[in-house]
């Protein structure tokens, strides 16, 4: 048995697993001993301890999830069954030896952990520029990857760098106000466009969240400030990997409300005609010009 460390959004999960079962790309084998709740793992305390048991077959049908207590959940599907106690910081994952099954399970675990901390995984492109992060969220086809390529290239981009162009971790900074955005780690990025070093391990402060859609033919880029329930709804609708249990959904909605109170949320109807002056257009809106 060995201990593997998974990190996402400033959180660490230490997982025990058979060395011959865990794919090499998942975390790093650190020690081969029994550890306790308060033991540091790789220099920092783990936020959650997970036992991973690989099995040839894990029975299950379609995806299902339910609460089993206060901040306690179980979820399963064909090849996966997981029990987690978020307050106790412990869990058990029974899973077949399949990279996608392990990755999906870990994303669900982190999604639940982030939710009770006022954050989540967002379906978004995230960029860092001048020490600030900006989130451009939207459904498939909204133009996230196209926008990320435009925003991080060309003379107007300056020092803009793409954290991820498909998924990003956003967490409310309850101590200092505002929010921080993190790049997905390599094990979870799914091969997306990424520059994990752009944010560093502590993330980068979020300047704004934009709900992205495409402008109509002949239209210029336009913005609309969102407030209250509309802003929270826009954030929540772009969160991913939330457990479909009422209690978990409620936590996700509360996290979305915390985020919209922490950072300005606006709708952005982006026109490709403005691509050469992308950051000029954004700066004009944010400065109120």
pLDDT at 48: 95
Q: Report domain extents, the chain.
A: 2-115, 119-287
Distance CA 223, CA 241 (A): 28
Considering only CA atoms, which of 285, 163, 169 is closest in space to residue 238? 169
Q: What's this model's pTM, rounded to 2 decimal places?
A: 0.88
Rg (CA), the chain: 20
Distances (CA, A) of 73 to 64, 114, 151, 246, 284: 11, 14, 40, 11, 45
- The model's confidence at residue 192, banded by pLDDT at 50, 70 and 90, is low
Q: Are 22 and 52 in contact (CB under 8 A)?
A: yes
What percentage of the chain carries pLDDT values higher than 70?
A: 85
Half-sphere exposure of 95 (CA within 13 A, CB side): 25
pLDDT at 159: 65
pLDDT at 20: 67
pLDDT of residue 129 exceeding 50, the answer is yes
Q: Distance from CA of residue 224 to its chain's centroid?
A: 25
CATH fold label, 119-287: Phosphoenolpyruvate Carboxykinase; domain 3 (3.90.228)
* Average pLDDT rounded to a whole number, residues 110-133: 93
List, as one string, the DSSP characters of 145-207: HHHHHHHTSSGGGTT-EEEESSEEEEEE-TTTSSEEEEPPPGGGSTT--B-GGGT-TT-EEEE
pLDDT of residue 44 exceeding 80, the answer is no
Q: Are 143 and 212 in contact (CB under 8 A)?
A: yes
């Amino acid at each position: 048995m060995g201990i593997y460390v998974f990190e996402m959004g400033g959180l660490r999960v230490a997982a025990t697993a058979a060395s011959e079962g865990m794919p090499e790309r998942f975390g790093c084998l650190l020690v081969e001993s029994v550890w306790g709740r308060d033991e540091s793992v790789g220099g920092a305390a783990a936020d959650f301890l997970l036992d991973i048991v690989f099995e040839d077959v894990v029975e299950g049908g379609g995806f299902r999830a339910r609460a089993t207590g206060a901040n306690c959940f179980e979820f399963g599907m064909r090849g996966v069954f997981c029990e987690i106690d978020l307050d106790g910081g412990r869990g058990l994952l029974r899973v077949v030896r399949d990279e996608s099954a392990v990755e999906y399970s870990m994303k669900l675990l982190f999604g639940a952990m982030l939710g009770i901390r006022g954050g989540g995984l967002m379906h978004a492109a995230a960029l860092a520029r001048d020490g600030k992060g900006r989130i451009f969220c939207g459904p498939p086809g909204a133009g996230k990857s196209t926008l990320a390529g435009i925003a991080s290239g060309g003379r107007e981009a300056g020092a803009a760098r793409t954290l991820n162009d498909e998924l990003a971790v956003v967490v409310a900074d309850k101590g200092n106000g505002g929010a921080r955005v993190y790049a997905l780690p390599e094990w979870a990025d799914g091969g997306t466009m990424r520059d994990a070093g752009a944010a560093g391990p502590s993330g980068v402060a979020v300047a704004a969240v934009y709900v992205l859609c495409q402008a109509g033919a002949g239209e210029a880029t336009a913005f609309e400030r969102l407030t209250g329930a509309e802003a929270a709804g826009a954030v929540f609708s772009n969160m991913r990997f939330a457990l479909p249990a009422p209690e978990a959904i409620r936590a996700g909605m509360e996290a979305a409300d915390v985020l919209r109170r922490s950072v300005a949320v606006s709708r952005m109807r982006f026109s490709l005609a403005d691509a050469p002056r992308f950051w000029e257009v954004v700066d004009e809106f944010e400065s109120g010009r």
